[in-house]
Structure 1
Amino acid sequence: MADKPMLDDTEDVALDFGAEDELDRQRRFRHPVAVFFHLAFRVASILVYLLCGWFVDSFITSFVLIVILLSMDFWTVKNISGRLLVGLRWWNYVDEDGKSNWVYESRKGKLKGLTTAAESRIFWLSLVVCQVIWLVFFFGTLFTLKFKWFMVVIVGSLLNGANLYGYIRCKMGSRKKMTGVATNFLGAQVWRSMLATATASAAGKE
């Protein structure tokens, strides 16, 4: 008995593996350890500031612990999490003439794909939210006249604010340069127009 030929009712379907990989890349965490420590020190410093009065009677002990956590957070964000989570880095060096130079770097090209959207959101939200929290603490110490905590919130605002400012400069540096060029160009055009108007007016009076 001869075998009956099988009917071929299938059709070719194109699979876009690149789109799936890109979607997966945007969702997952590529650097979970860096994300953890990026959040751990800053959250711990805020919690210690809020709760230290319940567990520790010594202001000096609380002050030292909070400053240590803030310093660890500053170093981690500046040297590790910023580079891994958003591909940005800022640093300072002193040249041979003794002049201090600030460098703001941004990862570009194919290397930029090493970061994910989820990690980027966590990085920027934590920087902005924590800075707002420390500013609230700053005004809170003023309104409640708790001046002994004033130096603590100043340190928190300055260290977190320094990282926020540095990474904004890294992110917007090239755009800022273009804005400066455009501003200078428009200023020159306005100045020339004013000179032309003044010259024409002087010539008309003569």
Structure 2
Amino acid sequence: MKINRHWLWAGLLPVMLVVGCGGSKEKEEEEKKDDESVSAIGAVGALKEMASKAEELQKNGPVETVDFRKLKELLPADADGLPRKEATGEKNGAAGMVISTANGKYSNDDGSESIELSIVDGGGSAMMIGLAAWSMVEIDKETDNGYEKTSTMGDNKSYEKYDNASKDGEINVLVNKRFIVSAKGHGVSMDKLKSVLEDLDLDKVGALK
């Protein structure tokens, strides 16, 4: 079965950006070659898994996406104490692939703390390969300023990134292989972002039809 090359490369690009390791200029040439070899192996492995996922999706076919109004109903009135300022939703599609999205924006009065919560339903289409490429790789990086890693939230694969200095962060969760729920924040802790997703009830999101 042939794989749709357009979606395959669309999914591969973020994977290569994630798994690629450039190394510092101060490293020895031999170490750089080793790093490049590891990156190449990781990229090839990710590509193979993506190709397998794409073939599986083409075989089973996507399902109809949930009406974005149902997704909007799941957006909480406040995000761990931050009141909701705006809630929007929409449905977009191309080439027979449709995505439903609901977004909620939350902040305190002076805007020093803000969170954007989104729920995306791709109906299990090949488009999800690109949107959740992080779900097919393992990431674990840490610096003096923050970290980036893949993990799990309950039974769901997750990706999180946080900057300690700016208190900017995000956490994305792939639910039931079709929904991507994410919380992006400014001026808030990662614990607060996780608390928002826990209050959202990911099991309820995954049960939507």
Fold conserved between structures, TM > 0.5 = no
Higher relative contact order (CA 8 A, sep 6+): 1
- Structure number having the greater helix percentage: 1
- Scaled by the length of structure 2, the TM-score of the pair is 0.31
- Scaled by the length of structure 1, the TM-score of the pair is 0.31
Which structure: larger Rg? Answer: 1
